[in-house]
């Protein structure tokens, strides 16, 4: 059956790029409503569906927009937590254009949803079953594939020149238990030179060692180092789970990706839905 949350709840934090404090109000929503963001700081209070077709920018995060250009940025970490908690219907009121970054992981959102609880609804859940291999490859050869499978599984590989990251791989089924223990706590990561550049062009005003792992050559600048051994690739798994949930359904299929990001995730979903013989919704 479909699910919404058991009761209304709220969470606050600062936006990574704007540095502004943002409040999220999560409200129950009826069957077949989907995941919808509502910008309460704009007089018309526009609602934007968290769907791949609404994704307008994938450069530093997944950003959705309506036809008038009203946006909500950085939805992917909350989307990952919603996906794993099997929440189908939710209204998310947000009073800013950017989601709170929290600690850079999906854990604060997962914890909030676990504490709030999930309510079963009266309509059956529908799933998106991958029926054929679907590929998106960029001009650098980085590739993401969707394959038919019996469960939702991810195989993700990253490779960084820094030895502290190097080559990391996550491969397997994404169960609620594995997500909570090994994936949700994994933070966004970046290199110090990227931080310096983004700050210089007025971005990541809210960025700090409180909400990202920052690498400087062979060093981690965060006290305490990594939270889990493969924190970097596991964070990419969070992003992939969150982005795949913009399909509007839980996916039954295997995602195989190497050195890809939000752009590739969105493009492979667009390729999937471009041909009805690629999938089945049931």
Task: Tell me the catalytic residues.
Answer: 262
Cβ nearer to Zn ion, comparing 29 with 79 = 79
Residue facing Zn ion at closest CB distance: 239
Piece of the chain touching Zn ion by CB under 5 A; list 85-93, 144-152, 237-245, 252-260: 237-245
Piece of the chain touching Zn ion by CB under 5 A; list 22-30, 63-71, 139-147, 233-241: 233-241
Residues 6+ away with beta carbon under 8 Å from 35: 49, 50, 79, 82, 87, 88, 89, 90, 92, 245
Piece of the chain touching Zn ion by CB under 5 A; list 28-36, 78-86, 210-218, 239-247: 239-247
Give the footprint of Zn ion on residues 110-139 (CB under 5 A). none
In the list 239, 247, 248, 278, the residue contacting Zn ion (rule: CB under 5 A) is 239
For the CB of residue 148, give the shortest distance to Zn ion in the complex, in Å: 27
57 φ/ψ angles, rounded to the nearest 5 degrees: -150, 130
198 φ/ψ angles, rounded to the nearest 5 degrees: -60, -40
Cβ nearer to Zn ion, comparing 182 with 239 = 239
Cβ nearer to Zn ion, comparing 77 with 129 = 77
**Using an 8 Å Cβ cutoff, are 38 and 155 in contact?**
no
User: Binding pattern to Zn ion, positions 183-202, x when CB under 5 A?
Assistant: -----x--------------
For the CB of residue 31, give the shortest distance to Zn ion in the complex, in Å: 30
Cβ nearer to Zn ion, comparing 74 with 89 = 74
Which residues of the chain form contacts with Zn ion (CB under 5 A)? 188, 239
């Amino acid at each position: 059956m479909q699910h919404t949350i058991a009761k209304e709840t709220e969470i606050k934090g600062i936006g990574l790029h704007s540095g502004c404090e943002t409040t999220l109000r999560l409200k129950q929503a009826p069957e077949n409503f989907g995941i919808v963001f509502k910008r309460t700081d704009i007089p018309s209070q526009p609602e934007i569906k968290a769907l791949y077709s609404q994704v307008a920018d994938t450069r530093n995060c997944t950003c959705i927009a309506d036809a008038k250009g009203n946006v909500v940025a950085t939805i992917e970490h909350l989307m990952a937590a919603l996906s794993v908690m099997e929440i189908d219907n939710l209204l998310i009121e947000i009073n800013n254009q950017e989601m709170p970054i929290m600690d850079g992981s999906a854990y604060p959102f997962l914890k909030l949803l676990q504490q709030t609880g999930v309510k079963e609804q009266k309509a059956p859940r529908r799933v998106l079953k991958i029926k054929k291999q679907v590929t998106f490859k960029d001009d650098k050869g980085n590739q993401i594939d969707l394959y038919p499978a019996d469960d939702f599984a991810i195989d993700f590989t990253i490779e960084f020149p820094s030895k502290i990251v190097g080559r990391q791989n996550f491969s397997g089924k994404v169960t609620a238990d594995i997500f909570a223990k090994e994936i949700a706590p994994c933070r966004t990561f970046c290199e110090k030179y990227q931080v310096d550049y983004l700050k210089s062009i007025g971005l990541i005003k809210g960025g700090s060692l409180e909400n990202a792992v920052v690498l400087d050559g062979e060093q981690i600048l965060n006290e305490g180092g990594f939270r889990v051994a493969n924190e970097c690739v596991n964070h990419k798994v969070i992003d992939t789970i969150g982005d795949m949930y913009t399909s509007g359904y839980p996916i039954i299929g295997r995602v195989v990706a190497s050195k890809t990001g939000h752009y590739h995730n969105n493009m492979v979903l667009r390729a999937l839905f471009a041909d009805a013989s690629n999938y089945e919704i049931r």
